[in-house]
Structure 1
């Protein structure tokens, strides 16, 4: 198996992750009963493949030579253990922001239309899902993924609900026009009565466009974990946990180290 393209992590990262999960499992109680169909290494590998590729559990069961119910049990057991094993790799805010210029943008995690959840429909993107705010550095490194909000929530409100309006004053935050009314630095709109930007505003807007690629790249890498990109199919109540776990895996993949 080509580990990095299939699971999102390289061989050494997987081995380290499995070792940490093993410590968590065996610190609670010794194994009892029949040995599992899949060893711990394969269980972690299966969970990573499901998160990275968003396979149906039936297809994953065929890949790993087990039943679909076994895949479901493994996934539900291992995903929270992965988060616990990697929790110290999450960049500590606001310390991680000190001395940095930060880029912010919102993205939609598609879920499909769900009964009773019309508030998740995003009119701009013409699909239903949960919205998340993302912070990144100027070179495209992921810094933070906020808790999700209803898909119809405007970026301006989502920015405030994420607490980004209270970031330290020495942390310049750059956003797009959707952040009008927030402390974020943003492009300038055309002035009243003018059909074009002034030369000064053109220079300003061009400068912002030239650096905002970095947050879009960070979001693209986050959504390489396809469970966040190609349509989440499981219980909607569990999606915030999945977003948080995937973000933790992405921090680990990027090499964020515990302080």
Structure 2
């Protein structure tokens, strides 16, 4: 198996993760996944599921298991992955210290659901949750915010998730969707006018630097459960986002 592309983690990272989960389970004396499936296999199945966002029947076909068995594995193993990797999520203040921070928002599509119209984004023309991503100039992840309503503009989400205050003393670059914040953003063309040569040059420089956060978002969304349509219970999605954040930080070696 090509572990890095299929599961998101290198083979040695999976082995270390399995050891940590085994230690947690041994302390509790209860195995929360089917007894017929070994721990290593159960962890790989769960990683493939969240990395590729296949339906559970398809994952079952790949591993010679039934859909209910895949569901039990996923529900038993994913919380254990979150526990095993929780210390890999750095405090945002520590992660951004001494860095130029790049910020952008993205959505986690959920499909249109009855009673959740506030998650519908007119801009993206689909329902989802808005998350803010912080990256450094190399495109490495520094933080993923708590999810906000999908209908919320990036500027408001930046404030509501608490990042505007937490990043207030940190040099930050963002796109034009963050007006009125302390972040450096490209200058907009004045109505009926043109940008000066200096403004055009500055905008080009800002856009060049900002491309790193877009690469970071692309790496985060390689965990396709956050990219191609979340199908599970909406109440569980914020927890899943935190676990995916832990997996991505672990993948990066935090």
| TM-score (structure 2 length as normaliser) | 0.96
The Cα of 1:119 is off from its aligned counterpart by 1.0
Partner of 2:13: 13
Cα gap change, 1:137/1:81 in structure 2, threshold over 3 Å: closer, same or farther? same
Structure 1 counterpart SS, 2:77: helix
The Cα of 1:30 is off from its aligned counterpart by 5.5
Runs of 5+ unmatched residues, structure 2: none
Aligned residues of 2:148 and 2:161 also touching (Cα < 8 A): no
Pairing 1:78–2:77 present: yes
Aligned residues of 1:98 and 1:170 also touching (Cα < 8 A): no
Pairing 1:138–2:137 present: yes
Structure 1 counterpart SS, 2:177: helix
Aligned residues of 2:34 and 2:73 also touching (Cα < 8 A): no
CA RMSD of aligned residues (A): 1.6
Aligned residues of 1:102 and 1:174 also touching (Cα < 8 A): yes
Runs of 5+ unmatched residues, structure 1: none
Partner of 1:239: 237
Inter-partner Cα distance in structure 2 for 1:255 and 1:158: 28
Inter-partner Cα distance in structure 2 for 1:95 and 1:138: 16
Partner of 2:224: 226
Inter-partner Cα distance in structure 1 for 2:160 and 2:177: 15
The Cα of 1:191 is off from its aligned counterpart by 3.0
Inter-partner Cα distance in structure 1 for 2:17 and 2:25: 12
Cα gap change, 1:104/1:31 in structure 2, threshold over 3 Å: closer, same or farther? closer
Structure 1 counterpart SS, 2:92: coil
Partner of 1:201: 199
Structure 2 counterpart SS, 1:109: strand
Inter-partner Cα distance in structure 2 for 1:228 and 1:22: 27
Aligned residues of 2:34 and 2:72 also touching (Cα < 8 A): no
Deviations 1:99-119 (A, max 9, x none): 100000000111111111111
Once structures 1 and 2 are overlaid, which stretch shifts more, 166-175 or 100-109? 166-175
Structure 1's consecutive aligned runs of 4 or more residues displaced over 6 angstroms after TM superposition are none
Partner of 2:46: 47
Deviations 1:188-239 (A, max 9, x none): 1123541x11112111111100111100000000000111111111111111
Inter-partner Cα distance in structure 2 for 1:108 and 1:168: 21
Once structures 1 and 2 are overlaid, which stretch shifts more, 75-84 or 23-32? 23-32
| TM-score (structure 1 length as normaliser) | 0.94
Partner of 1:184: 183
The Cα of 1:167 is off from its aligned counterpart by 2.5
Deviations 1:135-181 (A, max 9, x none): 00000000101011111100111001121111355411110110001
Deviations 1:14-58 (A, max 9, x none): 0000000000011111669x9711100011011000000001101
- Counterparts in 2 of 1:88-103, with a 5 A limit? 88-103=87-102
Structure 1 counterpart SS, 2:74: helix
